Amino acid sequence: MHARRDLFALGFFSACGHGERVCRHPARWKLNLPTAEVTLPRITWSEAPDRSHWLTASVSVPKMLWGSNIGSLETDVEIVTGLSAISRFVTQASGIDFEAAEANVTRVDYCFNWQLTPSEVWQYLRALMVLRFPA
């Protein structure tokens, strides 16, 4: 993780909720994007109590590519193009090399505003589990 002054220079702000610039607890820094760029990745530096740290980039690949989540990714070329765009943006914004294709994925949304009842959601998740981990 960069020094505090460097994080401020890159446009990050301390997200701990304290009004001070210096805290004694593990740090969490968020990139403050201009309003026009809110569709781009939300970037957060986080630090654990042991002072290890990690960078999180939260983004929808279709929204990164087209400015909207309405379209679906249909080809490998679209996926590679989206991941490359994420890599370039995060590398430039954070000041470190970031390779989206090698990142740990912690969340995948398959659809937006999909009208399912809670029971139907569980049925769908069970079906996905069987597809992913067949007996």
Average pLDDT, the chain: 79
Q: How many residues does the chain have?
A: 135
Q: Which of 8-12, 74-78, 89-93, 130-134 has the lowest mean pLDDT?
A: 130-134
Average pLDDT over residues 107-130: 74
d(CA 4, CA 25): 14
- Is the pLDDT at 40 greater than 80? The verdict is no
Q: Which residue has the higher pLDDT, 28 or 71?
A: 28
Question: How much is the pLDDT for 85?
Answer: 92
Instruction: From 65, 64, 75, 27, select the one nearest 47 (Cα to Cα).
Output: 27
94: its two tokens: 């954070």
Q: Where are the domains of the chain?
A: 4-107
Asked if the model's pLDDT at residue 4 lies above 90, the reply is no
For the entire predicted model, the pTM comes to: 0.67
Please provide residue 43's backbone torsions phi and psi, each rounded to the nearest 5 degrees: -115, 130
Q: Which residue has the tokens 């079906």?
A: 127
CB 48 within 8 A of CB 26: yes
- Per residue, the 3-state secondary structure of 38-62, as one string, reads CCCCEEEEEECCCCCEEEEEECCHH
